[in-house]
Structure 1
Amino acid sequence: MRENVHIDIVKIIEILVLSLGSIVTLFPFIWMISTSFKTPPQIISYPPTLIPKPPTLEYYTQIFTKLNFGRFFLNSGYISVIITASALLTSSFVGYVFAKFNFWGKEVIFMMILSTMMIPFAVTMIPLYLIISKLGWINSHLALIIPGLYSTFGIFLMRQFMSSIPNELREAAIVDGCGEFRTFWSIILPQCKPVLAALGIFTFMWNWDNFLWPLIVLNNEDKFTLPVGLSMFSQQWWTNYGLVMAGATISVIPVLIVFFIFQKQFIQGIVLTGLKM
């Protein structure tokens, strides 16, 4: 009886702690949405209020009628989709090679690839900019897409996951007449759906929110991505908080849609990769 009471108390404490953590995590998001519907006097009023009275769509109207927000949104969208698809494809291919093939220097090459994860972007930023400049890609979306066509983290993740897939599965497919590519595409890759979903969400979110590199290489407003475009709403002496919050609210929607669609695979992928590493 005492054990049951103890377990119930522990569960209640866990629920309370998790609930408190959820509230703390969600509150900035709720405040952002609330502010996007407030009038200018309500935004700067003291004490602040959570519920706008009355709510207004003024900032959402201004974003799409007076600003180039739609172009920023489309730029971020297609760049993120291209990079995510390319990173998933290249990470799968390279991870498969390192997981299922034996060749001279495999471990050394793999460690060299992993070592690039330890180099901060601030170190490679200037050399990368010089290369992009020599290629004539400054103020072009190629400067964002080409460096993102592969993912070191993705290679590591796919290699670790594919290493846990029994070699007998691949060998049986080859004995049955499957070529190497078909074995990879039809046998091995379908087993990796959870980890592909997790990697896809991480890659999409990182590129969707990427700010520093697009800010450096893009000069034309029509080329700006969403984070760079949102920064235009903050000027030196004044910030239009309503526009910033409305833009930020809209920018979160694609990420939430992607997460909710692949939520099951994402959670499963995180669990499986955590167990199999």
Structure 2
Amino acid sequence: MIFTNKVSKIGIYTAIVLLALVFSAPFLYTLYTSFIPIKYVNTFTGLENWTFDNYKTFFTSDAYSVSKWLFNTVVMTGIILIGNLIINPMAAYALAKLDFFGKKLIFWIVVITMMIPYHMILIPVYVNMAKLGWLNSFAALTIPFLYQAIYIFMLRQFFIGVPNELIEAARMDGLTKMGAFWRIVYPLSKPVLITVAILTFAGTWNSYLIPSTLANTPEKYVLVVGLNSVKDMFFENTPLVMAGVVLTTLPILAFFFVFQKQYMEGISNSGLKG
């Protein structure tokens, strides 16, 4: 029996490793291609021919503004990330624990909003940003996206599972409703907040359609939009294009690997209660 269990575990782990290799193969190819000269594309070459020239080109050539694009991306992602970690939890807590007129109606509006693809309302958003004079600004790239209905729903489901007795005890100790939320409930929701942070970071960092629509001047490009313009200019220079892909992918991978444990905990706790 013990031998059978060991063989079974070995088989499972082998299958997992093989699947991991299959799914990581495209990125490994991208990473490899980004380090080789163009003459070695679609061939295998040793480390002696690898080079950082493709990356140096992005950061040293006057034809690109990668440093500026990267700065724009960091600012946009940071503002949206902070906003989603403040506004979404407050809205979710109100829908989960507070009693007020129209609570159920507001909740169902949030649910219905989740079913509407953002592409359907992009034109009205563009028109509103134009009327406000916010086009080609960080305001247009951030303010409409400081909350997300799906995250409000996830957090609400988590907050429903927080015992009311815990909140009542905090209130008896002299905390206000907001004090009980920020000092008791908010810290307890760390796993699901990290899940929200990862999803927000990945979605914002890799966003193309919205930034390219609301900010269409090169000095306001974010990294994905700017590198996509490089791809259009140098489509046949595969190593240069792949270097751009790596630049946009590595921050997301690093963010996920740092918080992957909390991410899995948040996924398991956010949608199964209530």
TM-score, L = length of structure 2: 0.93
Q: CA deviation at 1:121?
A: 2.0
Cα distance in 2, alignment partners of residues 68 and 237 from structure 1: 15
Q: How does 1:143-182 map to 2 (within 5 A)?
A: 143-182=140-179
Q: What corresponds to 2:9 in structure 1?
A: 11
Q: What corresponds to 2:249 in structure 1?
A: 252
- Deviation by residue 1:32-63 (Cα, 9 ceiling, x = unmatched): 111011111001x4xx3275551111111110
Q: How does 1:1-277 map to 2 (within 5 A)?
A: 1=1, 4-43=2-41, 45=42, 48-49=43-44, 51=46, 53-66=48-61, 67-235=64-232, 238-276=235-273
Q: CA deviation at 1:189?
A: 0.6
Classify the secondary structure of the residue corresponding to 1:29. helix
1:34 and 1:52 in contact (8 A); partners too? no
Q: CA deviation at 1:160?
A: 0.6
Q: CA deviation at 1:101?
A: 1.0
1:215 and 1:228 in contact (8 A); partners too? yes
Cα distance in 1, alignment partners of residues 154 and 168 from structure 2: 23
2:191 and 2:265 in contact (8 A); partners too? yes
Moved more, 149-158 or 248-257: 248-257
Cα distance in 2, alignment partners of residues 58 and 158 from structure 1: 45
Cα distance in 2, alignment partners of residues 50 and 272 from structure 1: 47
Moved more, 170-179 or 233-242: 233-242
Cα distance in 2, alignment partners of residues 159 and 248 from structure 1: 35
Q: CA deviation at 1:262?
A: 2.1
2:88 and 2:147 in contact (8 A); partners too? yes
Cα distance in 2, alignment partners of residues 16 and 92 from structure 1: 41
- Deviation by residue 1:212-251 (Cα, 9 ceiling, x = unmatched): 1111122211100011011112227843222221122122
Cα distance in 2, alignment partners of residues 199 and 100 from structure 1: 20
> Which contiguous aligned blocks of 4+ residues in structure 1 show a shift greater than 6 angstroms?
none
Q: CA deviation at 1:275?
A: 4.0
> Amino acid of the residue matched to residue 216 of structure 1?
T
Cα distance in 1, alignment partners of residues 212 and 160 from structure 2: 39
> Amino acid of the residue matched to residue 54 of structure 2?
Y
RMSD (Å) for aligned C-alpha atoms: 1.8
- Deviation by residue 1:178-227 (Cα, 9 ceiling, x = unmatched): 11111111011110011111100100110000001111122211100011
Q: CA deviation at 1:106?
A: 1.5
Count of matched residue positions in the alignment of Structure 1 and Structure 2: 272
For structure 2, list consecutive stretches of 5 or more residues without a partner in the other structure: none
2:34 and 2:239 in contact (8 A); partners too? yes
1:42 and 1:49 in contact (8 A); partners too? yes
Percent identical pairs in the alignment equals 36
> Amino acid of the residue matched to residue 34 of structure 2?
S
Cα distance in 2, alignment partners of residues 156 and 58 from structure 1: 46
1:34 and 1:50 in contact (8 A); partners too? no
- Deviation by residue 1:96-134 (Cα, 9 ceiling, x = unmatched): 101111223322210111111111122111111111111
1:194 and 1:265 in contact (8 A); partners too? yes
TM-score, L = length of structure 1: 0.92
Q: CA deviation at 1:76?
A: 0.6
Classify the secondary structure of the residue corresponding to 1:232. helix
